[in-house]
Structure 1
Amino acid sequence: MVFLISTPLLSNYVSCIRRTVVNSTTNLITKTLSPLGQSARNMSKLKSHSGAKKRFMPTANGNYKRWQVGLRHLNSGFSAERTNRLSRTVFVDKTQKRMLRKALPYSCSK
């Protein structure tokens, strides 16, 4: 059973609400909330680059896969071997990987 007790707290002209949650085991958990109801200590989230999300696929070991370029148009003179090679996916190299870790901050844990 959880009881909510709220009391207003004025500090530096900013109104915050302190909620004390009392559990049935008499453990006290205190949170300071902003007037909008969000936690006062949350950091802002990073934005992922929307173009990079569409072009690069993260793998489980921290690498990224991408499609090869040059297969959309003006390729009628290419050999079948070349078009087959261009249709495969490849891994990015380490310079692109460093850039992609910044562009896609939540894609890989490594």
Structure 2
Amino acid sequence: MFAALGVFTQSTLAPLGQSARGMAYKLKSHSGAKKRFFPTSNGNYKRWQVGLRHLNQSFSAERVNRLSRMVLVDNTQKKMLRRALPYSC
């Protein structure tokens, strides 16, 4: 009865996905990068330094303290991280 009146059509009964509503697809963030890199307010990323987990008993205390600090990533890593973490900065 309603189909004869033209009230309901097949397109209105179908569930609306992102493409039907004119929305863009969501990008997925790299889950490993989310755990290892932290965005700063000015567009850089911070990361922990490597070499502190094990086999460091021969390191000096100065070196261990230096390795325990976070550092900023360089420009080549920043370019890669912008694609891996699209919604971070």
Query: Shorter-chain TM-score: which interval?
Result: 0.7 to 0.9
**Distance in 1 separating the partners of 2:59 and 2:65:** 10
Q: Which piece of structure 1 moves more, 38-47 or 93-102?
A: 38-47
Could you say which structure has the larger radius of gyration? 1
TM-score computed with the length of structure 2 as normaliser? 0.84
Equivalent runs, 1:21-100 vs 2, <5 Å = 35-38=14-17, 40=20, 41-100=22-81
Report the equivalent of 2:8.
Answer: 8
**Larger helix proportion, structure 1 or 2?**
2
Which amino acid in structure 1 is aligned with residue 68 of structure 2? S
**Distance in 2 separating the partners of 1:76 and 1:16:** 68
Aligned residues: CA RMSD: 1.4
- In structure 2, the gaps of 5 or more residues are 1-6
TM-score computed with the length of structure 1 as normaliser? 0.69
Deviating 4+ runs (over 4 angstroms):
none
- In structure 1, the gaps of 5 or more residues are 1-6, 10-14, 18-33
Answer 1 or 2: higher relative contact order, Cα 8 Å, separation at least 6: 2
Give the match's secondary structure for 1:65.
strand
Aligned residues with identical type, % of pairs = 68
Report the equivalent of 1:22.
Answer: none
**Distance in 1 separating the partners of 2:40 and 2:24:** 27
Counterpart check, 1:102 vs 2:62: no
